[in-house]
């Protein structure tokens, strides 16, 4: 990424500094105005980012629109993975990886307020949750041992989980090689097993539970093979690690909020990609701080 977006830019802030401000905004769960006020009042944050002047909230908003486009976000995700390969955090090929998708709340209202509002008027006193027609959804491929995000595909739900499978695996293949891919029954399809082995050179472990419940083996070759594998405890033991992708979603939603403060489709996609990038950067910084720990005992 070049230091400035244009040769004739004012050259007050570099793109790297503005991206660091966006990561700080996401980490502290602030909006653009809150980030502006924080940087104005905190000399330590400005010194850490090497800022002489705090950027305006409109500058941060325009930087978000420019820096968080999907092609550039994928390049930034490439950079975090290449940096992680130089540390013990991520090893290639990845032994076990998991894929899944999860929805996010399209607002910042508390559940208490939503329930109060849903129970007003004719339905006063009735507590119920609100249902959304459309909501932002993020598909992830992660390393089961380090929780590092290998691929991220933002889209909009409700939608089947396998809709983003090809895009996510294309991204992950360009970054690392995956030996075994774990997924839940939402990805149970014969073409997924075939594509994983032929195109991506990966083994799959997916329970064949799609369709009507029956004791008969599936007709397709790979789905029948999966049914036989899941009948043996020893052979299906690696599938227990599939829950690690749920842990990644839990970390993202606990640390970086489960809501997306954006209205349009593309702004929601940018917000979801920023969450994925911030998660990887947090893992990298935690590992670097641990490696820099003092080796001498405290006096």
Tens digits of residue pLDDT in 80-139: 999 999 998 998 899 999 999 999 988 766 666 666 555 555 555 455 555 557 889 999
134-181 pLDDT, tens digit per residue, is 889 999 999 999 999 999 999 998 888 888 999 999 999 999 999 999
In the predicted structure, residue 190 carries a pLDDT above the cut 90: yes
287 touches 89 (CB < 8 A): yes
Phi, then psi, of 150 in degrees rounded to 5: -95, -25
Q: Which residues of 28-44 are buried (b: 16+ CB within 10 A; e: fewer)?
A: eeeebeebbebbeeeee
**pLDDT for the residue numbered 297:** 43
In 66-168, DSSP assigns E strands to 94-103, 135-143, 149-157
Phi, then psi, of 205 in degrees rounded to 5: -135, 100
**pLDDT for the residue numbered 19:** 94
Average pLDDT along the chain: 86
Side-by-side strand order, sheet with 149-157 = 149-157, 135-143, 94-103, 178-182, 203-205
- Burial class of residue 115 (count of CB atoms within 10 Å of its CB; 0-12, 13-18, 19+): middle
3-state secondary structure of 59: helix
If we measure between CA atoms, which residue out of 42, 155, 145 comes closest to residue 95? 145
Q: What are the distances in angstroms from CA 66 to CA 13, 154, 270? A: 14, 17, 10
What's the angle, vertex CA 186, arms to CA 77 and CA 218, rounded to 5? 130
3-state secondary structure of 46: helix
> Considering Cα of 264, then 262, then 10, then 15, what sign does the dihedral take?
negative
- Burial class of residue 231 (count of CB atoms within 10 Å of its CB; 0-12, 13-18, 19+): exposed
Report CA 94 to chain centroid distance, whole Å.
Answer: 18
Q: What is the mean pLDDT of residues 61-73?
A: 92
pTM of this prediction?
Answer: 0.85
> Above pLDDT 90, what percent of the chain?
65
């Amino acid at each position: 990424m070049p230091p400035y977006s244009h040769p004739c830019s004012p050259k007050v802030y570099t793109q790297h500094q503005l991206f660091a401000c966006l990561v700080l905004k996401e980490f502290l769960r602030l909006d653009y105005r809150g980030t502006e006020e924080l940087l104005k009042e905190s000399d330590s944050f400005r010194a850490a980012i090497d800022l002489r002047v705090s950027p305006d909230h409109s500058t941060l908003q325009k930087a978000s629109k420019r820096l968080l486009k999907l092609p550039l976000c994928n390049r930034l995700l490439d950079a975090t993975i290449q940096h992680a390969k130089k540390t013990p955090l991520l090893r290639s090929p990845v032994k076990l990886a998991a894929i899944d998708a999860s929805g996010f709340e399209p607002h910042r209202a508390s559940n208490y307020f939503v329930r109060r509002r849903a129970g007003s008027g004719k339905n006063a006193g009735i507590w119920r949750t609100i249902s959304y027609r459309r909501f932002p959804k993020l598909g992830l491929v992660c390393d089961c041992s380090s929780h590092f995000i290998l691929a991220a595909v933002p889209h909009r739900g409700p939608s089947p989980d396998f809709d983003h499978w090809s895009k996510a695996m294309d991204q992950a293949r360009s970054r690392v090689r995956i030996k075994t891919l774990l997924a839940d029954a939402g990805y149970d399809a014969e073409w997924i097993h075939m594509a994983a082995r032929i195109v991506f050179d990966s083994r799959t472990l997916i329970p064949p539970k799609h369709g009507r419940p029956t004791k008969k083996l599936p007709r397709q070759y790979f789905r029948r093979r999966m049914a036989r594998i899941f009948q043996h405890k020893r052979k299906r033991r690696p599938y227990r690690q599939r829950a690690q992708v749920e842990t990644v979603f839990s970390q993202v939603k606990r640390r970086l909020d489960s809501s997306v403060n954006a209205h349009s489709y593309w702004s929601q996609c940018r917000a979801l990609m920023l969450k994925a990038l911030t998660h990887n950067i947090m893992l990298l910084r935690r590992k670097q701080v641990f490696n820099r720990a003092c080796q001498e005992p405290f006096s």
